[in-house]
Amino acid sequence: MSYEYRVIRVEKGADGVALIVLDNPDETMNVVAGRFIDDMNAAIADLRDDASVTGVILTSGKPAFMAGADLKLMVTGYGRMTKREAYEFSHNATRMHRALETMGKPVACALNGLALGGGFELALACHHRVLSDDPKAIVGLPEVTLGLLPASGGTQRMVRLVGIEKALKLLLTGKSQKPAEALAYGIVDALAPADKVVDKAREWLASKPEPTQAWDRKGYFIPEMRGMLVPENATASSLAAANIARDGGYNQPAGLAILSAVFDGMQMPMDRALSLESKFFANLLTDTVARNIIRTTFISKQAAEKGARRPAGVPKASFTRIGVIGAGMMGSGIALVSAAAGIEVVLIDRDVAAAEKGKAYSQKVWGKQVERGQLSQAKMDEMLARITPTDDFARLEGVQLVVEAVFEDVGVKNETIRKVEAVIPADAIYASNTSTLPITGLAEASQRPDQFIGLHFFSPVDRMGLVEVIMGKQTGSVALATALDFIARIRKTPIVVNDSRGFYTSRVFQTLVYEGAAMLEEGVEPARIENAAKAIGMPVGPLALLDEVTMDLCVSIVEQAIAQKDPNYVPRGGVPVLRTMIGLGRGSRKAGAGFYDYPSDGPKRLWKGLAEHFPPAAEQPDQDELKTRFLYVQAIETARCLEEGVLETAEDGDLGSLYGWGFPAWTGGTLSYIDTVGIARFVAEADRLTQAYGPRFAPSPWLRERAAKGETFYPEAKKEAA
């Protein structure tokens, strides 16, 4: 007999086993939502009271088992949900999971595919877990990466299964595990082929197992329940707290909430521990950090990847063969990701040897994956065969797209444009990979400027997910649509910006490094500068970044802006510092020395000679002031980009800042940060910084007007403030 619900199916067999099949007809993937919880509660009650049912198996009618909660609902927590409402939001699922594991009948979970977040928490509430032995069938609790914690028993069941140390490694990183890893770790009990997971679960039920969890049995006790009385627990908790502070400062509260939920929860009976977990979750869900992270890293990112900025009415482009001109670091990376996406690549450089060297990069990257068992030799050979290294431009005949990644010199690029356009089809799109050269100017060398567009990839291409798409003044909608279709094909995240010196990402990134140099010029200790940047969540300090990008380039950009009387140029501090360093022969890591020394026998370290050339002031500023300067100087410049039309949407600005140069995720991005501070308060603080440090912090009349009107960058921010 079959019971019909709305998003699940319940099927009873003659063997006494009832199968609960998760299969929401309205979604491509099962997610935790109100309808699902209602159906599960009804099914649990029905099966609990049915004497003919001796065991239960949960599985999915979709390729994946289950994702977590619908994040589109989660992003509304801040400003629209009270903590009591957030608690109930969490505890509704918690109560359902608790009813499942205490129904008095053994429950097995047949995980036929991916199970993350709330989906894996459901599996943890079952008494036995069988996972599909497929590399794509990953499991885990990634909530910390969204500024949250697992809120349906994940923190409590995980630690009771594997202990504090192992549980925290997963909970605090959000790391997912492949089947063999999950089995070895102890968070699943068995593996089986995808079409056999239900059969394997039946075998376990046939063994007449205990219908309860270990923690619900009389006399249950594990060492972790003694808290700080166990030295190992005290050490693990102390180290975890220190690592949280080291990796993200105290800007992201989720890590400390997880640590507290785990440690405190182990001192309590299960039901009280689950209630505590929901309270911690409620605090996080109603905080700005989770809202910011979810909105940018999930909702905005997903929308961009699905074509939010793609022009309507343009047929979708397909790619069988493209050209990549320049086989250096950028070109070789572009060739790699294109070939991995199934596209044939003609890789051109000045001679065949240089082109073959570019192809060798793919062989090196994929070769390491083969060694680690992540890629088969046959697959590697197949992908390598798609890359044709050559110096013959005639091989470009028939390509749909050319991505040029030659040296950042207008003359070199202009010559390349002429050679390429002499060969490629009339309808092919020409994309120039550049980080600074204006696309409109480069397009002047093109015979078809409407088919000319900029694509700014980030290095290394195979690991960096963002691509900045630059529209020249004459770039047409077909070129934009084609570029976005290509980016989707190679599985990157696009932002679309209009032409400008440095475009968006390079322009705003520069403000960070110049501010660090300005601080050094003022007498701030270099270690204090670097630590302040890392304390707000930047991955690297500005002085270390200057060593990587080379100071000559930064000074050259300033000199060009001044010489060309760029109306949008804002004077930056710190330029004299860069000139001094260049004069000392310490202009970059590539040159062998910069703000840091790079000894061959150890890690880099700040150059001791900095104190001689930039003497530290007797009185050092408060770290909070330095952190504020770093955050504000980048946010102000982003607002200028939006005002000038370089940016058209707040979403592009925030995605670009997070994925382009590592602006801290807890802010949601540079414009989201202004909304989080409150635009009126932000402008007032910017005025103070302007008086103290100069016009680079000055809010424009446009930003002041927005502040006066309470006009936020995201419409919901205004509603939240109200």
Cis, peptide link before residue 460, omega less than 30° from 0 = yes
Burial of 631 (0-12, 13-18, 19+ CB in 10 A): buried
Q: Are strands 387-390 and 321-325 parallel, antiparallel or unpaired?
A: unpaired
With b for 16 or more beta-carbon neighbours within 10 A and e for fewer, the 508-540 pattern comes to: bbbbbbbbbbbbbbbebbbebbbebbbbbbbee
CB atoms under 10 Å from CB of 149, counted, come to: 31
Burial of 328 (0-12, 13-18, 19+ CB in 10 A): middle
CB atoms under 10 Å from CB of 548, counted, come to: 13
Residue from 700, 702, 706 nearest 678 by CA: 706
What is the H or E stretch that residue 11 is in? strand 8-12
Q: What is the DSSP string of 263-297?
A: HHHTTS-HHHHHHHHHHHHHHHHTSHHHHHHHIII
Specify whether 127 is catalytic: no
d(CA 661, CA 679): 23
Cα–Cα separations (whole angstroms), residue 658 to 143, 337, 360, 393, 530: 18, 21, 31, 37, 19
For residues 453 and 430, the answer to whether their CB atoms sit within 8 Å is yes
d(CA 630, CA 609): 25
Q: What are the respective helix, strand and coil percentages of the chain, to the nearest 5?
A: 50, 10, 35
Residue from 631, 518, 643 nearest 571 by CA: 518
53: Cβ contacts below 8 Å, ≥ 6 apart:
12, 16, 17, 18, 47, 105
d(CA 570, CA 309): 29
Residue 406 in tokens: 């030659």
Choosing from 97, 127, 128, 456, which is the catalytic residue? 456
Helix and strand counts by DSSP (H, E) for the chain: 31, 19
Residue count of the chain: 722
HSE-CB for 170 with a 13 A CA cutoff = 28
Dihedral Cα 506, 508, 512, 518, nearest 10 deg? 100
For residues 18 and 12, the answer to whether their CB atoms sit within 8 Å is yes
d(CA 318, CA 582): 47
Helix axes 231-248, 254-265, angle to 10 degrees: 170
- Residue 237 phi/psi, 5-degree rounding, is -70, -40
Is 80 in a helix, a strand, or coil? coil
Is 58 in a helix, a strand, or coil? strand
d(CA 175, CA 155): 14
514: Cβ contacts below 8 Å, ≥ 6 apart:
554, 572, 573, 574, 575
For residues 332 and 358, the answer to whether their CB atoms sit within 8 Å is yes
List active site positions: 456
